[in-house]
Structure 1
Amino acid sequence: MEKIKKQRIILTAVLISYFLIIMSNSVIFTGVVNIQRDLSLSAKALPWVSNSYSLTFGGLLLLAGRLGDIFEKKLIFIIGIVVFGISSLLVGIANTSGLMILARAVQGIGASIIAPTSSALLLDTFAGAERTKAIALYGATAGIGSSVGLVVGGLFASLWTWRIGFLINFPIAAVLLYLVLKYVSSQAQHEGSKIDFGGSLLSILAVASILYAMTADSNQLIFLAIGIVLLIAFIVLEKKISRPIMPITLFQDPERIGAYIARFFYMAAMMSFWFFTPQLMQNTMNFTPLWVGFGFFPMTMVMYIVAMRLPIMTEKIGNARILRIGMVLTLLGMIWVCCFQSGFGYWFGIAAPMILVGAGQSMVISPLTVSGVVRTRGEESGAASGLVNAVHQIGGAVGLALITLLAGSIGNQVFRYRISMIVATVLVGLAYIATLLLVRIEKND
C-alpha cells in the first residue's frame, strides 16, 4: 500500500511539472497583445517572448536527457524545478523587454531539464501495464497543457494581468520540490558514465541554428545551412564515441523512428492550430482574450475526458490502434476548419471541429510518447525521453515557421487561416502515414 501511495505521488508530481512547462509556452498566445503593450515590445522583439523559450527548451533537451542517465535523476529533476520556478517568478515581475526575454530563455532551460527527467522517472517508477498507463497520462498532459495555456492566458490577461500566468508557477514549483524531496528515491549514477561534451555542444548549436533560421528576419538560409552541417557533424560524432549524448541505437527500432517522425509532423500542425485560431477569433469574430480562452473550453474539456479514459482504452484495444483512431479524428477536425467561412460562426466553424481535434490529440500524443521510448534500455531512458521532447518542440517551431512563411503575407484573415489549416492538415496526413508504415500493432493489441 505504501508503495502504491508513493507511486501515485510521484506520478502526480511528474504530471504537474510537465503540465507547467507545456502550458508556459501556449499561455503566451492569448496574452501577447497585453504583453507587447505593457513592456513596449517592438514588432521585431515580440516573437522572441515565445522563441527564446523554444530555443533553449529544444536546444538543451538532449543534453538534459543524458544528464538524467549519468547523474542521479532526482537531483537533476530538482535542479530543473528550481530553475523553472525562479525564472517564472522573474518573467512575472519583468518590467523591461530584455529581462522578459532573458527570463523566458532561462525558463526554457528549466523546462528542458524537467521534460526528459520527468519522463525517465516514470520509466524507473512503473513497470508493465502500470508503466503504459502512466506514460499515456504523461503524453495526454502535453495536449491538455497546451490547450489550458490558451484558456489561462486569456483569462488572466483580461481579468487581471498576464503576469499571473507565470507567477503561479513559483508556488506550484515549491510544492513540487517538497514532493520530490520527500517521495522520489535517490539512485546511484551509472558506473563509468561521462558527459559527451562535443555532442552536447553540437546538438545545442545545431538545434539553435535551425530554430533561429525559422524565426530570423534575414540570413535564414545561412543559419539553416549551418544548422544542417552541425547536425550532420553531430550524427557522425555520435556514431563514433562509446557513450553518446544521443545513442544511435535509439534509431534501430522502426517503431521509435515512426514515433519521432509522426510526432514532428503532428506537432508542426498542432502548434500552428493553436497559434492561428486565437488570432482568427480575435480579428474576425471580435473575441476578447478572455473569450478566446473560453472559446477553447470545448477542446480542453474533451481532451481531459479522453485523457482520463485513455489508460482503459489503451488496455482494451492497444497503443497503435488508439494512435491511428486519434490521427483520423484529428484529420477530420482539421479538414473541417479548412472549410471555415465568416458565416459559419463560432459553434459550427470553430467549436465543433475543435472537439474532434481535441479528442484526436489526446489519443495521439500519449501513444506517440509510449512508442518513442518503447524497448529502450535503462541507461537510454533519459536520452530517449529527451529526444521525444526535442522532436515535440522542434516540430512545433518548424511547422509554425513554415506555415507563417507560406501564409503570413496573405491580407484576408479568413483566407490566411484556411491556407494555414490546409498546410497543417497535410502535415497531420504525413504523421498518419508514418504511423501506418512504422508503428506496428502487436498481436495482443
Structure 2
Amino acid sequence: MIVRDPVHGDVEFTEPERAVLDTPEVQRLRGIKQLGTSYLVYPGALHTRFDHSTGTMAVAKRIIRALRSSGNEIGEEDELLVTVTSLLHDIAHVPFGHTFEDERKILPSHDRGDRVRAFLDDGELADVLVDLGIRQKVLELLLSGEPLENSLEVPWIAQIVKDAISSDLLDYLRRDSYFTGLEQNYDDRVFRYFILTDYDVGRSSKVVLAVNLGKEGMVRQDARSEVLHLLRMRYFLTERVYYHHAKQASGAMVSKALELSIRNGFAPSDLKWMNDWTLFEALKSRPLGKKLISCIEGRRLYKRALVLGPEIGASKRNELISLYNRPGHERESMEETILDGLDQRGASVGEGDVIIHCPDLGTMKEARVFARDEEGMVEKLHRHRRPISKDLDHIENQYLAIWNFFVFTRADIAAKANEVARGLFPSEGANFRPKDYI
C-alpha cells in the first residue's frame, strides 16, 4: 500500500505495517490534533497524531536506508521492529496530551507502562502484534526508559524512533513547520550523518545510533552545522508555536476544564478512546467545563493578567515552578485567593475564571544524541568539547529566556486581576498585558 503524505511524499507500507495501521487503536489517532490548541493561532495546524505516526515511520525507513547504504546490515525483523514501533510511539496519547501531562501535570505521561499496556495487552492491535510475533519486543521498545543505552541490550532500534535526534523529531520539525505555515526546514543530507557504532556501557559494549561529526581525522563542518540547525529549528518552533501565549492560554483553559470535571466525577480512564471532539462534548456536559470549552470554541480566550519572566531571577523562578507547576493545594489555593480579591473589588467571578499557569523550564534533549567526533570518540553531544558546547549553551540559554509564569483570566476582569496578582507576586518584572495581539 502506498499513501501520499503532504510532507514526505509517497509512503509505502508493507502488509505487516498495514495490518498494524488498520487497527482501531491506531486509527483513533486521526482524531487527536498533533499541536493541541495551536490551531487557534495557526489555522492550518490541524494535523493529527495519526499523520505524525505515519510520518515518523517514513523517516525511520529513510534512516534505515541510509545506514544500509553505508554498509550496515539490518535484517527484515529489525526493520519491522523499527517501523512498527514508529507507528505506535504515540499510541497512548490522549487529546491535548502534552498540555495535560507536560505543561499542567494533571495526567501521568502517555509513555508510562500502564498507559501503553492498555493498548497492547489486548484488543485488535495486540492480536495483530501477536500474529506477527513481535508484541513483546515492541512493548519493550515502547516502554524503554532513558537513557536507552542503559535500558536496552540493543538500543539503536529504539534510538531510531525516539532518541534525542530521531525519526520522531525529524518528522514533527517538518510537519509542524509545514502546517503552521512557518518557513523552516532541514537538509536531507542529515540522513547521511547517521551511523551505528560501538559504545561502552559499564563493562559491556553496545551498538548505538550516533551522528558522525568527523571524517578522516577532520571535523565535518557540514554535519556539525546541520545538527546545530536542527536544534535551532526546534527552539524556533518552541518559541513561535509551542510557547505562543494564546496557545498557552487556551491549553490552560482546556486543562482547567478537565481538572474541574475530574473533581466532579469525570474518570481519566475514559480518555483512552476519546478524540478531541468527544472530549470537548464530555467536558461541555458539565457546567464548569461547558463555560471554558464554549469560550475556546468561540475563541474567547483568557488574557494575561500577569506575566513573570526570567527577569525575576533563577531562584524565584525555581520557587514558582516548585509551587505551581503541578496541581494541588498551592495552585488551587492561589487561584482562590485571586478570586477572593476580585470579588472584594466588585468583580463577578466564579470557579475557573482564574488560572495559574506555570510551565516547567524548556529543555534541549536533542543535545543528548550520541555523536562521534573527528578522533573517533563517541559521547553525548552536550559532553563534547568546544566549540560545539558553546553553541549548545547559547541555545540552552534561549530556552531559559522564553520561560514565563502566567495568571490567565477572563478579558473583562484582567485589569482588576492584575491589581490583585501584583500584590501577591510583587516583582519589578510583573507585567500587565491585557491586550490580545492576534
TM-score (norm 2): 0.28
Give the structure, 1 or 2, with the largest relative contact order (CA under 8 Å, sep 6 or more).
1
Structure with higher strand content: 2
Structure with higher helix content: 1
TM-score (norm 1): 0.28
